[in-house]
Amino acid sequence: MTQHRGHLVVVGNGMVGQRLVEAVRERDAGHGWRITVLGEEPRPAYDRVALTSYLTGTSAEELSVVPEGCYTDEHCVLHVGDPAVAVDRDAKTVTTASGRVVEYDALVLATGSSPFVPPIPGADADGCFVYRTLEDLDAIRERAGTAGTGAVVGGGLLGLEAANALRSLGVATHVVEFAPRLMPAQIDQGGGEMLRRKIEELGLTVHTATATQQIEALDDGRLRMVFADGDPLDVGMVVFSAGIRPRDQLARDCGLEVGERGGIVVDEGCRTSDPNIWAIGECALACGKIYGLVAPGYDMAEVVADRLVDGDAAFTEADMSTKLKLLGVDVASFGDAHAATPDALEVVYADPVAGVYKKLVVTDDASTMLGGVLVGDASAYAALRTMVGQPLPDTPEQVLMVGPATSSLDDAAQVCSCQNVSAGTIRAAINDEGCCDVASVKACTKAGTVCGSCVPLIKTLIAQSGVEVSTALCEHFEMSRAELFDVIRVTGARTFSEIIARHGTGRGCDICKPAVASILASLDSGHILDGEQAALQDTNDHFLANLQRNGTYSVVPRVPGGELTPEKLIVIGEVARDFGLYTKITGGQRIDMFGARVDQLPAIWKRLVDAGFESGHAYGKALRTVKSCVGSTWCRYGVQDSTSLAIMLELRYRGLRSPHKLKSGVSGCARECAEARSKDFGIIASENGWNLYLGGNGGFNPRHAVQFAVDLSTEDLVRTIDRFLMFYIRTADRLQRTAAWMEALNEEHGDGLEYLRRVIVDDELGICADLDAAMQRHVEAYADEWAAVLEDEEKLSRFVSFVNAPDVPDPSIQFVTERDQIRPADQSPSDGPVPIAGPELEVVRR
Q: What is the pLDDT of residues 614-667, one digit of tens each?
A: 999 998 899 999 999 999 999 989 999 999 999 999 999 999 999 999 999 999
At residue 598 the predicted structure's pLDDT band, cuts being 50, 70 and 90, is confident
pLDDT of 93 above 90: yes
Per-residue model confidence (pLDDT) at position 244: 87
pLDDT at residue 3, as a whole number? 60
Report DSSP letters for 285-301, one per residue: EBTTB---SHHHHHHHH
Q: Select from 654, 474, 620 the least CA-distant residue to 537.
A: 620
Q: Is residue 402 pLDDT above 70, yes or no?
A: no
C-beta separation of 387 from 438 below 8 A: no
Q: Using CA atoms, how far apart are residues 616 and 614, in angstroms rounded to an integer? A: 6
Euclidean distance between CA atoms 844 and 802, whole angstroms: 5
Rounded to a whole number, what is the distance in angstroms from the first to the last CA of the chain?
Answer: 12
What is the CATH number assigned to the segment(s) 622-783?
3.30.413.10
Nearest to 149 by CA among 86, 66, 73, 232: 232
pLDDT of residue 457: 66
Cβ 122 vs Cβ 217: under 8 Å = yes
Res 372: pLDDT? 86
Q: Where are the beta strands (DSSP E) in 164-258?
A: 172-176, 205-207, 212-217, 223-227, 233-235, 237-240, 244-246
509 assigned to a ligand binding site? no
Q: Which helix (H) or strand (E) holds 322?
A: strand 322-326
629 is in an annotated binding site: yes
Query: What strands, in cross-sheet order, belong to the sheet with 553-555?
Result: 546-547, 553-555, 591-596, 582-585
Q: Please provide the CATH number assigned to the domain covering 414-464.
A: 1.10.10.1100
Exposure string for 321-332, b = 16+ CB within 10 A, e = fewer: bbbbebbebbbb
Give the C-alpha distances (Å, rounded to integers) separating 299 from 19, 386, 419, 473. 9, 19, 19, 26
- Output the pLDDT for position 832: 38
Taking residue 566's Cβ as centre, other Cβ atoms within 10 Å add up to 7
Is 801 within 8 Å of 560 (Cβ atoms)?
Answer: no
Extents of the domains making up the chain? 6-114+246-308, 128-242, 322-402, 414-464, 538-615+784-829+838-846, 622-783
Q: Please report, as a single letter, which amino acid is at residue 262.
A: G
Rounded Cα distance between 499 and 518, Å, is: 13
- Give the residue among 719, 731, 562 at the shortest CA–CA distance from 650: 562
Domains 6-114+246-308 and 128-242 fall in the same CATH topology: yes
The pLDDT, as a whole number, for residue 451 is 42
6-114+246-308 — its CATH code? 3.50.50.60
CA triplet 46, 134, 8: central angle to 5 degrees? 40
CA distance 675 to 48: 42
Q: Is 463 a residue whose pLDDT tops 80?
A: no
d(CA 307, CA 335): 29
Residue 213 has pLDDT above 60, yes or no: yes
Give the C-alpha distances (Å, rounded to integers) separating 467 from 148, 359, 388, 459, 480: 53, 27, 17, 10, 18
pLDDT digits (tens, 9 = 90+) for 429-448: 888 888 877 778 887 887 76
Architecture of the 538-615+784-829+838-846 domain = Alpha-Beta Complex (3.90)
Q: What pLDDT, in 10s, does the model give residues 11-60?
A: 999 999 999 999 998 888 766 899 999 999 999 999 887 787 787 677 88
Q: How would DSSP label each residue in 582-645?
A: EEEE-TTS-EEEEEE-GGGHHHHHHHHHHTT--B--TTSSBEEEEEE--HHHH-TT--S-HHHH
- Mean pLDDT across the stretch 725-730? 96
pLDDT value of position 830? 37
**Nearest Cα to 246, choosing from 119, 115, 95?**
115
**Alpha carbons 195 and 654: distance in angstroms, whole number:** 61
b/e per residue 703-722 (b: at least 16 CB within 10 A)? bebeebbeebebeebbbbbb
Burial class of residue 353, CB neighbours in 10 A (0-12, 13-18, 19+)? exposed
Class (C level, CATH) for 128-242? alpha beta
Residue 405, pLDDT above cutoff 70:
no
Cβ atoms of 738 and 697 within 8 Å: the answer is yes
Alpha helices in 662-767 (DSSP H): 714-731, 738-749, 752-760
Distance of CA 771 to the CA centre of its chain: 37
Residue 843: pLDDT band with limits 50, 70, 90 = very low
d(CA 385, CA 371): 8
pLDDT digits 0-9 by tens, 488-531 = 988 888 888 889 888 988 878 778 888 898 899 888 878 888 87
Asked whether residue 837 carries a pLDDT value surpassing 70, the answer given is no
Least confident of 307-321, 455-469, 749-763: 455-469
768 is in an annotated binding site: no
Q: Answer yes or no: is 673 a known binding residue.
A: yes
Pick the more confident residue, 101 or 459.
101
> Do 684 and 646 contact (CB within 8 A), yes or no?
no
pLDDT-wise least confident of 102-116, 320-334, 749-763: 320-334
What is the pLDDT, as a whole number, of residue 838? 30
Q: What is the DSSP letter of 663?
A: E
CB atoms within 10 A of CB 81: 16
Mean pLDDT of 354-372: 85
Rounded mean pLDDT, 234-263:
93
E strand intervals along 763-812: none
Third-level CATH fold of 322-402:
Enolase-like; domain 1 (3.30.390)
pLDDT over 70, % of the chain: 88
How confident is the model at residue 576, as a pLDDT? 93
3-state class of 259 per DSSP? coil
Rounded distance between C-alpha atoms, residue 28 and residue 305, angstroms:
9
Contacts of 417 (CB under 8 A, 6+ apart): 454, 700, 701
Nearest to 189 by CA among 212, 207, 208: 208
Statement: residue 450 has pLDDT above 60: no
d(Cα 699, Cα 716) in Å, to the nearest integer? 29
